[in-house]
Amino acid sequence: MLNREVFWPPADELVEVAERIRARLGEWPAAATRWRICLTAPEAPKADDLIVFTEAHEAHEADTERLAQSGAAVLDADGRRVTLRRGDERFVLEGDWSDDWLAALAAFLDCNFEPHDALVLALAWRAGDENKDDAWPVDFATFPRVADLPPAPEGGFPACPDRLGLYPVLPSAEWVERVLDLGVRTAQLRRKTTDAADLKREIVRSVDAGRRHDAQLFINDHWREAVAAGAYGVHLGQEDVQTADLAAIAKAGLRLGLSTHGYYEMLRALHFGPSYLALGAVFPTTTKVMPTKPQGLARLARYVQLLSGRVPLVAIGGIDAQAMPGVLATRVGSAAVVRAVTEAADTASAVSTLQHMFACKR
C-alpha cells in the first residue's frame, strides 16, 4: 500500500492504521484494482475511486446515483447501515463496526477482495484484532448481515449431512446412474436442455436412481420439476434466489443448496437457511461462465474457518484429482467435480481415486 494514494484527500493517520492492519493479514495476490478511497467526492471520479459518505446528509440520492454511474463505487455509511453502489448493483449491510473500519476497508481491498467483500470484512474487523495471533476476522458474531432481503421460508429447509463427500455434477440421468452404481452417494443433475419433455424424463429417472441408492440427489436450477419428481434437493445460483419460490421448495421438503462467490453472497445465502453452501469457483472452470474471478485455496480456507459447523460446505469449480488434496486440506466437507469424472478415461478408476482421498481425510 505504500508509495501510492490510498486515501483522498490525504489522511496520514488512516494510512498508518491501514498499513498496520494490512501487515497482519498475510500474503495475498496483488490487488487487480488499486482502489483510492475518497473521503470527499472528487470533481472527476475515476473507475477505481471508492467514494465514502459517512453521514446521510452529505449527499443527495441523485448525486449518489450520478457518482455510481460514473464507474466509481459509492459507499453511504449512516448509523448501523452501509450501502455500497457500483453501477446498477447495490449492496446493503447492517451491523456494528469499529472506528478503524475505513482503514480496514483499505487493507482488505489491498488483499484483492472486491469492494462488497472487502466491506464485509472491514465491518467485521474489531480494534485490536491486529494483536491476535490470527488477525483475520473469523468470529461470525462480528460479521454484519445483509439487509433488505425477503423473509426466509417458514419452517426452513431440511438438513443434509454435514460432510457430503465427493459430489459429481452430471449432465444426464445415465451419468447419474453410472456414478451412483460406483458407490457415490451425493450427486447433482445439471441438465442443459430447452426440451421440457426431455428435462422431465431425465429428472424423474435421476430421482429414481437416487432413491434406489439412498443417495442425496440434487437437481440444478429446475426447482419446479424437482419438486414434482420428489427430489432429495435442488441447487440454485444467487440469481435464482430472486425468482424461485423458496417457500414452495421448503414446503415440499426438498433440501436447498446455494452457490456463493465470496463473503457478501455467503451472508446473503445464509439468510435463507439453506441446507448447504457451495463455495466457488475455487479454480478456473470451463463448464460455465463464472460471474467472479477464481477464489483460490487461501480464500476457501478462510471461508471454511468462518462457516464450518454452521452449515455444510461444498467446494466447487475446476477441481480435479490433482487439486483435490489441497481442497481437502482446507477441511471442507465436500467437493463438487465435473470433468474429473465425466471426462475421465476410466470413470470407475477416477471415482475410486477421488473417493479414497475423502476416506483418508476422515
For 78-88, write each residue's pLDDT tens digit: 889 999 999 88
The pLDDT of residue 144 is 98
Structure-block grid coordinates of residue 159: 438438513
Same domain assignment for residues 263 and 313:
yes
pTM of the prediction? 0.95
| Number of independent structural domains in the chain | 2
Please determine, for residue 290, whether its predicted confidence score (pLDDT) is greater than 80: no
> What is the DSSP annotation of 202-252?
HHHHHHHHHHHTT-EEEEES-HHHHHHHT-SEEEE-TGGGGTS-HHHHHHT
Q: Does residue 79 lie within any of the structural domains?
A: yes
Please determine, for residue 357, whether its predicted confidence score (pLDDT) is greater than 60: yes
| 185 within 8 A of 165, measured Cβ to Cβ | yes
Nearest alpha carbon to residue 165 among 279, 317, 336, 9: 336
Same domain assignment for residues 183 and 91:
no
Q: Does residue 56 lie within any of the structural domains?
A: yes
Q: Does residue 339 lie within any of the structural domains?
A: yes
Same domain assignment for residues 78 and 216:
no
The pLDDT of residue 3 is 74
* CATH code, domain carrying 245: 3.20.20.70
Name the band, by pLDDT with cuts 50, 70 and 90, for residue 258: very high
Q: Does residue 151 lie within any of the structural domains?
A: no
Domain end (from 82, 116, 146):
146
Domain end (from 88, 114, 146):
146
Q: Does residue 232 lie within any of the structural domains?
A: yes
Domain end (from 84, 112, 146):
146
Partners of 73 in the beta sheet? 50, 86
For 136-171, write each residue's pLDDT tens digit: 999 999 999 999 999 999 999 999 999 999 999 999
For 41-78, write each residue's pLDDT tens digit: 998 899 999 999 987 555 566 677 778 778 899 999 98
Same domain assignment for residues 140 and 173:
no
Q: Are strands 145-146 and 89-94 parallel, antiparallel or unpaired?
A: antiparallel
Residue matched to cell numbers 441447487 = 235
Nearest alpha carbon to residue 296 among 322, 336, 326, 320: 326
Full residue range of the structural domain in which residue 274 is found: 165-360
Q: Does residue 158 lie within any of the structural domains?
A: no
Same domain assignment for residues 229 and 352:
yes
Same domain assignment for residues 128 and 169:
no
